[in-house]
Structure 1
């Protein structure tokens, strides 16, 4: 960013309407991105998470702050984890749009985990229409080491980066 950093954006006053965000996300982007929408949004989510590194315990709070919805851990196995993504924003997108895409959130979660765990993480999303939520699944490869984030944003203390 040219004049500020991403932590500054987390502190901006005001709010954006839910309609404005979902209109861009679910009406405009699919037309612009076409068949590559899912892949592009997944990698866009990874790129965004790389700019907002937080400790693993703060990932659910960051999901809420960026407007993705409420993230809750569901299941954890040795190399796989599942999370529930729910809330008004998720349910409304599922009810309102024929093909809402949650790959942005899957990519965001994968990268957020990868940069704190230090090994490769890939993610995917599965919409549960009846329950009006999404299950995000991440698969981890602890044999494939990846760089850890050097500085983590502390969401509890004015969003200032802390050295890990």
Structure 2
């Protein structure tokens, strides 16, 4: 029987295999756009319609720990961190478009305003900053 640490390593390996190796090989130059679109589809399928929904989903899928860092009238900034994020960044993966798409769709559902999400990598802090921009 696997302990929790072994299970977590297994989930990370599977995520890395699909997200950081296989999908970019298949999707090529369209990886970012397709994963962003896929994230929006995931948010619709699992009815993610709030920050709390996104946060729970990211925890279950082991995408990382999500926190709100700033909220203004037309933007909401989140920080994604944690061991899986650190491991992905250290392995050279800077592809977080799936997460950005999930956030964009869920915030759009929550606010009723057209929303797009941009991301920025902070290698020094080992975090991904995701900024939802609302129209």
- The TM-score normalised by the length of structure 1 is 0.72
- Count of residues paired in the alignment: 127
Alpha-carbon distance in 2 for matches of 1:135, 1:40: 20
**More displaced stretch, 129-138 vs 61-70:** 61-70
Instruction: Describe the SS at the equivalent of 2:119.
Output: strand
- Kindly state the Cα deviation for residue 55 of structure 1 after the two structures are TM-superposed: 4.6
Structure 1 residue 94: Cα displacement: 0.1
- Partners of 2:39 and 2:100 within 8 A in 1: yes
CA distance in 2, matches of 1:65, 1:122: 23
Is the contact made by 1:107 and 1:124 (CA closer than 8 Å) also made in structure 2?
no
Q: In the alignment, is the contact (CA less than 8 A) between 2:43 and 2:49 conserved in 1? A: no
| 1:85 aligns to 2:83 (yes or no) | no
**Offset from partner CA, 1:7-52 (integer Å, 9 cap, x none):** xxxxxxx875311111111011111111111111100100001111
Task: Tell me whether 1:29 sits opposite 2:41 in the alignment.
Answer: no
Structure 2 counterpart SS, 1:17: helix
Q: Distance in 2 between matches of 1:138 and 1:54?
A: 15
**Corresponding position of 2:4:** none
Q: Report the Cα distance in structure 1 between the residues aligned to 2:30 and 2:49, rounded to whole angstroms.
A: 31
Tell me the TM-score normalised to structure 2 length: 0.87
Note if contact 1:44-1:104 (Cα within 8 Å) is conserved in structure 2: yes
Does the 8 A contact of 1:53 with 1:115 survive in 2? no
Q: CA RMSD in A?
A: 1.6
Match of 1:68 among 63, 66, 73: 63
Determine which of 102, 126, 133 is the counterpart of 1:132. Answer: 126
Q: Which has the higher helix share?
A: 2
1-structure distance, mates of 2:49, 2:102: 14
Q: Give unmatched runs, 5+ long, in structure 2.
A: 1-6
Matched, 1:123 2:121: no
